[in-house]
Structures are given as structure tokens and as C-alpha cells.
Amino acid sequence: MEVLKNVSIKPYTSMKVGGNVKEIFFPEDTDDIIDVLNKCNEVIVIGNCSNLIIPDEYYDKSFMILRDNFSKIRKDGYRIVAESGATMKALSRFALKSYLKGFEFLDGIPGTVGGGIFMNAGAYGPVISDVLESVRAIRDGKIVSYTKEQIDFSQRHSSFQTNGEIIVGATFIGEEGDQKEIEAVINDLNGRRREKQPLEYPSCGSVFKRPENGFASKIIDECGLKGLRIGGAEVSKKHAGFIINVDNASYEDVVSLIQKVHDIVLEKTGISLETEVKILR
């Protein structure tokens, strides 16, 4: 297992923000993960780090990255079994090759299977729990399994956000489909993403959760905040729900801009937007 000490976390984040951290572990199997948990009092687990903002100053915490080193995917009938480090795009493409539909919406979501389940990631309506059958996790040094029904899912939420358990894999179930039709749906969704989202810039995707009876991006746009900028961080002119790193933004730039957007929206509309991204302090 590779271990890096006192290194920058920035290259491993989708926002391209963050400073040096105590150490980063790259486990290759569940035994490695359990070994890290036994060694460290506190470990922050990340995949693509597509929904996390980490401080620029030295952060005296241990990180564990479950990504390429922990990303096997296999087929089992109409089921797909994936390790938590597999990307959601890889899961979508595996389903395509396996003639299984229902996974198309995952293709353009930046992040891993573990992160997707942790956040109950979704796009254009469907969420990852829709195609989920069961999850394997580590609790108190042992592997445990949960059916979907045993997990509390809601908008951008799962019970893994509060129970301290680490997702190591999952089983998904799809429906048999026509490969050309599946690919056409993927291409359509990705075309819409390219047209409407600022994919050319580092970002954490949608910053705020969808409020009741509305869309965060629409509300932010109606408040005239597209293009609002602090330092190198900017509210995207293409999609107001995204805060992008346009010029080597700092942690403080990003966090300050998130707070400013929240405060202006609250003042103008009375709506208190809740962040979807996680901000480490």
C-alpha cells in the first residue's frame, strides 16, 4: 500500500484547492483499509474528491483515497458488482457494454461509486440509489452488508454521512436494454451537460442542494449572481449552480463566495440555500 507524507491534496481534488495534509493512504484491498483504520484515530475517506473543499493551510489529518487502486467492476447476471473506487462513469460504461439500462445518468457525474452512494448522487431526475441493490461497508473493523432498504436515502444524503462506516463496494441491478438506445441516452445527457455546465473549469459541481419548489441555479441566476467573483473563484456564467476555479482560486476565495451567494439569496428571496458540497474547516 502506497503512503505519502506531508503532501499536497490539491492534485487529488476536482476543485483544485487544498494544501498539504498529514498523510495520504492508497489502499488496494479491504485488508489495507482495515489496517489504516486500526492505525489512525481519524481518517477522511475520499474518491475523486469531487464534493469536498479542503483548506490551503497544512491540514493535520490523514486521508485515504479509494480510486483507481480500488476500482474493480464485474457482472453477475443483471447485477453489477463494483468496488467503491470505481468511477460512476466507469459503472455507466460497464452497464452499456453489458446491455443493462438504468445507469445512463451516472455517465457525466464526476465521482466514484462510494462517493455517489455517500451523497446519493443523481442527475436529471434519477439518483444512484434507484439502481442500488446492496452496499458493503466496514464497521468496527469488519465487513458488513446492507440492502438498499436498510439505508436511509434522501436528497444528496445517505446514512453513511453520519454512521462513520466506510463504503467498500456495492451491487447494482439493471434491466436488459438495447445497446444503441442506451448509448443514445448517454450521448444525449452528456451533450446537455456540455451545453449547460462549465466542464472546462475545475469545480465541485452543484454547490447547493435543490430547495423546495425550485432549483438553486435558477434562484441564484434570478438574483443576478452569474459572474460574481471573489479572487479566482466565480459563479459560472454558464450555470449559476456551479462555482468554478477560473484563476488559481484559494480555499478562502471559494468558501467566501459560497457564503456570499447564500447571504445574497437569503436577503433577496428569504430562501436559505443548503450546501451540497462539504467544507472542511
Angle at 130 between CA 129 and CA 136, to 5 degrees: 35
User: 179-196 and 88-97 helices cross at what angle (nearest 10)?
Assistant: 150
Other C-beta atoms lying within 10 Å of the C-beta of residue 68: 12
Phi, psi of 139 (to 5 degrees): -130, 125
Cβ(53)–Cβ(254) under 8 Å?
Answer: yes
The type of residue at 40 is C
The grid coordinates of residue 173 equal: 441491478
What radius of gyration do the chain's Cα atoms show?
Answer: 19
C-alpha dihedral, 138 to 144 to 150 to 153, nearest 10° = 20
Cβ(66)–Cβ(114) under 8 Å?
Answer: yes
Q: Which residues are catalytic?
A: 156, 206, 276
DSSP string, 10-78: GGGSSS----EEEEEEE-SSHHHHHHHHHH-S-EEEESS--SEE--SS-EEEEEEE-SGGG--EEEETT
